[in-house]
Structure 1
Amino acid sequence: MTDQDTTDANDADPLEFLRQRSEDVLSALRDDVFAPEGIKTLRKTWSISEAASLVGRSQATIRLAEKEGKLPQAERSESGRRRGYALEDINRMRDAFGTRPWRATSDDPVIISFSNFKGGVGKSSFACHTAQYFAIHGYRVLVVDLDSQASTTTVFGFNPDLQIKEGDTLAAYLLGEQHTLDYAIRETHWPGIDLIPSALHFYGAEYELAAQVSGNVELLGSLRAGLDGVADAYDLIVLDPPPALGLVSISALVAANALVIPVPPANIDFASTSHFFAMVIDTLASLRRYGVNPSYKFLKVALSKYDERKSTQASIVEMMRHVFGHYLLATPIKDSAEIDNASARFETVYEQPGPLTSRDVHRRCITYLDGLNRELEILVRRTWSSHHESLRKEGLM
Structure 2
Amino acid sequence: LESEGILDDYDIILLDTPPALGYLTINALAAADILLVPLGASFLEFDSTGRFFDMLYSTFASIEEGENRIRRQEGLSEMKFEWDAVRALITRFDASQQTDLANVIQAYFGDFMTTYRQEVTAMVGQAGEQVNGIYEADYREFNRDTYVRGREAFDRTWAEVKEVLLGTWWRDLQELNEQEGNDGQAT
TM superposition score normalised by structure 1: 0.39
1:280 and 2:65 correspond: no
Q: Are residues 275 and 387 of structure 1, via their aligned partners in 2, closer, same or farther at CA, if it must alter by over 3 Å?
A: closer
Please say if residues 304 and 333 of structure 1, whose CA atoms lie closer than 8 Å, have aligned partners that are also in contact. Answer: yes
Match for 2:11 among 235, 243, 259? Answer: 235
- AA aligned to 1:299 is V
SS in 2 for 1:300: strand
SS in 1 for 2:139: coil
Q: How does 1:21-40 map to 2 (within 5 A)?
A: none
Deviation at 1:386, TM superposition (A): 9.1
> Hey, what's the Cα distance between the residues in 2 that align with 1:321 and 1:386?
25
Consecutive unaligned residues of structure 2, counting only runs of 5 or more, are 68-78, 175-187
1:352 and 2:128 correspond: no
**Alpha-carbon displacement from aligned partner over 1:157-215 (angstroms, at most 9, x marks no partner):** xxxxxxxxxxxxxxxxxxxxxxxxxxxxxxxxxxxxxxxxxxxxxxxxxxxxxxxxxxx
Q: Are residues 246 and 376 of structure 1, via their aligned partners in 2, closer, same or farther at CA, if it must alter by over 3 Å?
A: same
**Alpha-carbon displacement from aligned partner over 1:75-119 (angstroms, at most 9, x marks no partner):** xxxxxxxxxxxxxxxxxxxxxxxxxxxxxxxxxxxxxxxxxxxxx
Q: Are residues 277 and 359 of structure 1, via their aligned partners in 2, closer, same or farther at CA, if it must alter by over 3 Å?
A: same
- Identical-pair percentage: 26
Residue 342 of structure 1 corresponds to 127
Residue 385 of structure 1 corresponds to 170
Residue 367 of structure 1 corresponds to 152
> Hey, what's the Cα distance between the residues in 2 that align with 1:344 and 1:260?
23
Deviation at 1:340, TM superposition (A): 1.6
Q: Are residues 386 and 242 of structure 1, via their aligned partners in 2, closer, same or farther at CA, if it must alter by over 3 Å?
A: closer
Q: How does 1:67-216 map to 2 (within 5 A)?
A: none
Please say if residues 330 and 372 of structure 1, whose CA atoms lie closer than 8 Å, have aligned partners that are also in contact. Answer: no
Deviation at 1:384, TM superposition (A): 2.1
SS in 2 for 1:302: strand
Answer with 1 or 2: which has the greater Rg.
1
- AA aligned to 2:88 is V
SS in 2 for 1:374: helix
TM superposition score normalised by structure 2: 0.79
Deviation at 1:387, TM superposition (A): 9.9
Deviation at 1:290, TM superposition (A): 2.6
**Structure with a larger share of its residues in helix:** 2
- AA aligned to 1:336 is T
Residue 250 of structure 1 corresponds to 26
> Hey, what's the Cα distance between the residues in 1 that align with 2:64 and 2:173?
32
SS in 2 for 1:245: coil
Deviation at 1:356, TM superposition (A): 3.2
Residue 38 of structure 2 corresponds to 262
> Hey, what's the Cα distance between the residues in 2 that align with 1:329 and 1:233?
29
> Hey, what's the Cα distance between the residues in 2 that align with 1:337 and 1:381?
31
Residue 298 of structure 1 corresponds to 85
- AA aligned to 1:296 is W
Q: Are residues 346 and 225 of structure 1, via their aligned partners in 2, closer, same or farther at CA, if it must alter by over 3 Å?
A: same
Please say if residues 350 and 366 of structure 1, whose CA atoms lie closer than 8 Å, have aligned partners that are also in contact. Answer: yes
